[in-house]
Amino acid sequence: MATWKKYNKKTIYLLLTLILSGFLSVFFQPLVNEKALDTLVNIYSILAGFLIGVIALIGDPASLPSGSWRIAEASTRNTFKNLKGTRNLLYIYLITLFIIFMYKLLSVNGIVEILASYELEIKIEQPLLTLKKWSELFILFCSFVAFGYSFRLPSKLFSIQQQRVNKEIESRRRDANIRE
């Protein structure tokens, strides 16, 4: 039953995050400008680097508990289960950065003239403006989703570190033949 409640809470959090992100994206899309995008690039570049460090730290084989291979295997399963969410958050950061990069390429002054030089049969201005608007919405949507899940990261990391410390204390008690 505890597992069901845990997944139920995660599903509700996901749905609320997606709905709120969609609403905020539509609301704030008219405010998107170069400075805002540059700020997002800086934020997500830093956070992506931080997450790579976290993934390396959490997945470090040296952090496996001492004991039999079965203990290590059980710990590894839990570690990788915890890392899946962190990995997915990193993907959201990278997707957001990629979409911003593509958006900036399509926003370059003179892009209409460049595309017109290919002598296409269609007018490119209107589809380009539509693509720009949808890109802005998608960038904001991914950004709000990433922010929503980034707020959960500190408590998750604290919990993992607390478990490691408790395992180390228990291991030292066992080594000293102390039982409670």
pTM recorded for the entire structure: 0.76
Nearest CA to 153 among 70, 57, 12, 64?
57
Across residues 111-133, what is the average pLDDT? 76
Q: What does the domain layout of the chain look like in residue ranges?
A: 2-175
Task: Give the separation between CA 142 and CA 144, rounded to whole angstroms.
Answer: 6
pLDDT level of residue 95 (50, 70, 90 thresholds): very high
pLDDT for 143: 93
Rounded-to-integer distance, Cα 12 and Cα 7, Å: 9
Position 40: which residue type?
L
Confidence tier at 65 by pLDDT (50, 70, 90): low
What is the Cα–Cα distance from 50 to 147, expressed in whole angstroms? 14
Asked whether the predicted pLDDT for residue 153 surpasses 70, the reply is yes
